[in-house]
């Protein structure tokens, strides 16, 4: 494949989608839309990779990609032709072959870009255009061919008459140009169209007038060329991406019991022989080990899960779970939760900003917040760490081997010593020494370990 530079047209505001953020930053499967396009192009090692962005998106794009891409800013959104002209003016030293694509086509593959570049070289064309055939081409520019099957012109939906609207071959918005030939056309573009914009597609019409060759490359997988301009297209694209992710997981040894009901974000990592049950959602930042059972009806976000972990009907957010733990059903593990090996968290238990030691258990109906729990601790049903006094939050410490009776309230700050016991229904407002039994409201010493 010939060396090339790439320009991504990504300055559109996405009026039809109606989101408050620039369209290219809308998340798809845990990543901004533009990330899919940029990552695919980077895998081709272009000599230059330039993103044309709006002023509103510039700062976010810089945060996202740093200096791994070059930015050109289109101050006024007046069409794709003007956007590309902005890039060439800001980077005047580009030479040779120029690949141009859109920031809202995240499904395009590396192999498709390679094929288009090779085709432009093979045909010695001024331009090669990636095209697709759609049963319902509404909204897309139509490809009008001449007698040689070259591209005569590309007509946008709003400028098309009834005859042209019957054409099913559409422009995907991805092109490969001979840069010298392209530079001759851009200053000649006009706003003589329904949207009063400078269309890059008018360059193809000029090539035809000048008897220059502009050739279409018809892609067989029309879904991969799908652009995103509406919420319906956004939803469809997300579903196609999720389908690809599911296939990769199953090929890597992860069992998806009912794939169509399972949603896994793009960069989630899962070990082999793990089973995902129906209605499981695994979101950005999640890493799961091998031989786990996750679900059904489970949502995990930005969490690290070890191996041989079982999670049922639960929600985890920014939690860290070590090997051999059992969670749920109906548990809620919030930010700052750290479970050491073989911890059990049972039904209707909420845990927040807490470390729970090896082989400890919180089996039922409890709230554990801002706590440090040792090894082999048993926390009875209905236990509450009362960590908030209306102004500040305080810590609870429960040392190794302690037994917390059902319906115990632990008013923080408080420490329960090693092997201590609290009676059912106790309200503990003072530290409990090791090997001591307390009970009552407020809890008093029943048996002193000393």
Helix (H) or strand (E) holding 78: none
Active site includes 205?
no
Assess contact for 387 and 404: CB atoms under 8 A.
no
Assess contact for 294 and 308: CB atoms under 8 A.
no
d(C-alpha 3, C-alpha 120), whole Å: 12
d(C-alpha 229, C-alpha 138), whole Å: 12
Assess contact for 430 and 414: CB atoms under 8 A.
yes
Which runs of E-coded beta strand occur in 253-380? 255-256, 263-264, 269-270, 275-276, 280-283, 287-288, 293-294, 298-301, 304-305, 310-311, 315-317, 320-321, 326-327, 332-333, 338-339, 344-347, 350-356, 361-364, 367-373, 378-379
Assign 180 to helix, strand or coil.
Answer: helix
Assess contact for 169 and 133: CB atoms under 8 A.
yes
| Nearest in space to 62 (alpha carbons), one of 38, 40, 82, 89 | 38
d(C-alpha 197, C-alpha 156), whole Å: 11
Structural tokens at position 25: 């930053």
Assign 240 to helix, strand or coil.
Answer: helix
Assess contact for 406 and 383: CB atoms under 8 A.
yes
Residues sharing a CB contact under 8 Å with residue 372, sequence separation 6 or more, in sequence order = 354, 355, 395, 396, 397, 398
Q: How many CB atoms lie within 10 A of CB 336?
A: 16
Q: How many CB atoms lie within 10 A of CB 444?
A: 12
Given the residues 145, 236, 364, 418, the one annotated as active site? 364
Assess contact for 56 and 19: CB atoms under 8 A.
no
- In order of 19, 111, 114, the CA distances from 120 in angstroms are 37, 14, 10
Residues sharing a CB contact under 8 Å with residue 109, sequence separation 6 or more, in sequence order = 40, 224
**Annotated active-site positions, please?**
364
């Amino acid at each position: 494949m010939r060396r090339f530079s790439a320009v991504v047209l990504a300055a559109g505001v996405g009026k039809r989608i109606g989101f408050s953020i620039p369209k290219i930053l809308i998340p798809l499967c845990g990543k901004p839309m533009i990330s899919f396009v940029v990552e695919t192009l980077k895998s081709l090692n272009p000599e230059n990779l330039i993103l044309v962005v709006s002023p509103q998106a510039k700062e976010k794009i810089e945060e996202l990609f740093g200096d791994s891409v070059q930015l050109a800013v289109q101050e006024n959104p007046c069409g794709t032709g003007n956007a590309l002209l902005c890039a060439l003016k800001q980077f005047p030293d580009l030479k040779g072959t120029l690949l141009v694509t859109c920031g809202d086509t995240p499904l395009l593959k590396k192999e498709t870009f390679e094929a288009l570049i090779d085709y432009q070289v093979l045909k010695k064309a001024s331009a090669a255009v990636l095209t697709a055939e759609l049963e319902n081409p509404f909204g897309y520019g139509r490809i009008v061919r001449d007698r040689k099957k070259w591209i005569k012109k590309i007509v946008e939906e709003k400028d098309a008459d009834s005859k042209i609207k019957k054409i099913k071959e559409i422009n995907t918005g991805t092109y490969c140009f001979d840069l010298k030939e392209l530079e001759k056309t851009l200053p000649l573009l006009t706003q003589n169209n329904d949207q009063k914009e400078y269309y890059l597609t008018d360059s193809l019409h000029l090539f035809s007038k000048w008897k220059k060759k502009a050739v279409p490359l018809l892609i067989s997988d029309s879904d991969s060329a799908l652009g995103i301009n509406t919420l319906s297209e956004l939803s469809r694209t997300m579903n196609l991406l999720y389908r690809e992710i599911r296939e990769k997981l199953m090929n890597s040894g992860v069992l998806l019991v009912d794939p169509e009901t399972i949603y896994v974000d793009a960069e989630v990592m899962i070990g082999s022989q793990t089973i995902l049950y129906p209605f499981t959602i695994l979101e950005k930042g999640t890493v799961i080990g091998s031989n786990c059972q996750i679900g059904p009806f489970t949502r995990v976000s930005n969490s690290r899960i070890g191996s041989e972990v079982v999670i049922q009907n639960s929600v985890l957010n920014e939690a860290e779970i070590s090997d051999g733990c059992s969670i749920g059903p109906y548990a809620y593990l919030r930010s700052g939760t750290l479970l050491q090996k073989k911890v059990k968290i049972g039904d209707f238990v909420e845990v927040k900003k807490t470390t729970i030691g090896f082989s400890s258990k919180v089996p039922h109906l409890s709230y554990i917040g801002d706590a440090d729990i040792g090894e082999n601790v048993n926390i009875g049903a209905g236990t509450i760490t009362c960590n908030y006094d209306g102004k500040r939050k305080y810590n609870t410490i429960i040392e190794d081997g302690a037994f917390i009776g059902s319906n115990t309230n632990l008013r923080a700050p408080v420490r329960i010593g090693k092997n201590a016991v609290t009676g059912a229904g106790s309200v503990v407002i003072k530290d409990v020494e090791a090997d001591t039994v307390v009970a009552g409201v407020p809890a008093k010493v029943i048996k002193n370990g000393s």
